[in-house]
Amino acid sequence: MKIVVVDSHTLNPGDLSWEQLQALGQCEIYDQTAADQTIERCRQAQVVITNKVVFDRRTMDALAQLKYIGVTATGYNVVDIATAAEKGIVVTNVPVYGTLSVAQMVFALLLELTQNVGHHSRTVRQGRWTGCKDFCYWDYPLVELADLTMGVVGFGQIGKATARLAKAFGMRVLAYDVQPGQLEGEDVESADLDRLFAASDVITLHCPLTDGTRGLVHAGRIAQMKQTAFLINTSRGPIVVEKDLADALNAGRIAGAGLDVLSVEPPKADNPILTAKNCIITPHIAWATRSSRNRLMTETVENVRAFLAGGRRNVVN
């Protein structure tokens, strides 16, 4: 059994081990693979592991030995699922591995927006505190989260984990999901999108990218938000119309935004959100704690192990 990992660096930049996968067969591991290298590297493989390398019809047509594609992510849009099913190629993903890390990142972004820790730390290091005539100073409003309302759009595992953290901060939680049953048994209040956007002090996005969610946060939705509200996106970049958000931030129509994802990654230099006021942007790292990646590695190996034993585990097609 030949196993090829086409872009190992995404999951494992060197602090994890591939030994468990290597024990399952002949294993070739590449840090990165360009589009024009994919077919040659995978030509003899029965099992391929990918994160961002695309496996479309043309690629799969050229890989006669291929029986399994394991995606080291929850989203699996890098694989043409229909073609894989047609060819009898099993495709698996890894759901929920990053739940706690992503929820944590929501609050890392939110706390930076409400406390401006980075800014004030930099000014202290620049000598401003030593020369200050008062015992303290602050340059932005400092916002307490207790008693504020968080609106959670998308109430899957990450949305639920984020809501629990919000509750721990003393926040009230409004939640929306296309499947209302997701809210059953949870200590949150159901709200439609109009009410959620109008009533929330913080809106955090946790929905998948679909035809229904693409461009969900546009100028009209942003206009419903409080001028003091914050928007957090750790889900998928295209859910937000970035020009509309940049315009709103620059005009002061909302207080700020924290984004870990953008519509195109890496972003183009002319993306207006990169220079928008009161906008914190991180390079899609919410999922990337070592604990999260270790779970991802373990689950990836277990998916392959199950496939080799004739079972089905996290199969998406």
* Domains of the chain with bracketed CATH: 2-97+290-308 (3.40.50.720), 99-281 (3.40.50.720)
User: Nearest-CA neighbor of 208 among 312, 288, 93, 290?
Assistant: 93
Strand partners, 92: 70, 315
Whether the Cβ atoms of residue 203 and residue 151 lie closer than 8 Å to each other: yes
- How far apart are the C-alpha atoms of 273 and 99, rounded to whole Å? 26
CB atoms closer than 10 angstroms to residue 98: 25
Catalytic residue among 284, 302, 305, 313: 284
- pLDDT at residue number 180: 87
Per-residue pLDDT of 138-174, as tens digits, reads: 999 999 999 999 999 999 999 999 999 999 999 999 9
Catalytic residue among 236, 293, 295, 299: 236
204-225 burial: b if 16+ Cβ within 10 Å, else e: bbbbebeeebeebbeeebbebb
Is 299 considered catalytic here? no
Is 236 considered catalytic here? yes
User: Amino acid letter at 213?
Assistant: T
pLDDT in tens, the chain (317 residues): 999 999 999 999 999 999 999 999 999 999 999 999 999 999 999 999 999 999 999 999 999 999 999 999 998 989 999 999 999 999 999 998 999 999 999 999 999 999 999 999 999 999 999 999 999 999 999 999 999 999 999 999 999 999 999 999 999 999 999 998 899 889 999 999 999 999 999 999 999 889 999 999 999 999 999 999 999 999 999 999 999 999 999 999 999 999 999 999 999 999 999 999 999 999 999 999 999 999 999 999 999 999 999 999 999 99
Is 19 considered catalytic here? no
3-state secondary structure of 274: helix
- How far apart are the C-alpha atoms of 221 and 244, rounded to whole Å? 10
Catalytic residue among 9, 119, 265, 290: 265
